[in-house]
Amino acid sequence: MISVLFVCLGNICRSPVAEGSFRQLVAEAGLSEQIQCDSAGTSSYHIGQLPDRRTRDNALERGLTLTHRARRLTGEDLAQFDYFVAMDEQNLEAIEKLNYRATGLHTSDTIFLLREFDPAVNDQPNVPDPYYEGPEVFEEVYQICHRCCGQLVTYLAQQHKFLLNDRLVE
């Protein structure tokens, strides 16, 4: 079983959308027995809270019910998860620092920015934080997460030689 942790600042907007989209895409690909996921935040601002109401409403319009409760990224996560996917460079740096303290390694080939998997040609490395923004940014975040997570599913299927919808992905 491969495990993926999506990480943003408060774990109430971006990472829950990525987690929900990824979980849905994994199920659609027939990989629920091979890949699992969760999400966390690098801050403790919202621990125990449901995702932001605007995030949940936007996701629900696409058939995603987000019931995750916000939690903070911990050192224990490094042992429990195989891949870490940050929503922006600030959170990527927080994961890398935690990893360095735990392992002494400066880099890892299992820590990514979500937009590294963005098939849209784009020079923006970060998923925008919609918290102080309007509904159009929540929609943009959903679209980014959904398309990037689709590519991430394919990447993991290739890396681990999983059958994707009953066929091997080359």
Single out the catalytic residue among 14, 23, 56, 115. 14
Greatest CA separation for the chain: 43
Single out the catalytic residue among 8, 13, 148, 149. 8
Give the model confidence (pLDDT) of 97-125 as tens digits: 998 888 776 667 899 999 999 988 678 89
Query: CA–CA separation, 110 vs 157, rounded Å?
Result: 14
Domains of the chain: 2-168 (3.40.50.2300)
pLDDT per residue, tens digit, the chain (170 aa), is 999 999 999 999 999 999 999 999 999 999 999 999 999 999 999 999 999 999 999 999 999 999 999 999 999 999 899 999 999 999 999 999 998 888 776 667 899 999 999 988 678 899 999 999 999 999 999 999 999 999 999 999 999 988 776 666 66
Instruction: State which amino acid sits at residue 168.
Output: L
Give the model confidence (pLDDT) of 41-58 as tens digits: 999 999 999 999 999 999
Residue carrying structure tokens 């490395």: 125
Element (H, E) at 4: strand 2-8
Residue-level pLDDT at 103: 77
Query: CA–CA separation, 159 vs 170, rounded Å?
Result: 9
Single out the catalytic residue among 52, 88, 129, 149. 129
Residue-level pLDDT at 123: 83
Residue-level pLDDT at 104: 73
Whether residue 129 lies in the annotated active site: yes
Whether residue 8 lies in the annotated active site: yes
Query: CA–CA separation, 41 vs 84, rounded Å?
Result: 12
Whether residue 101 lies in the annotated active site: no
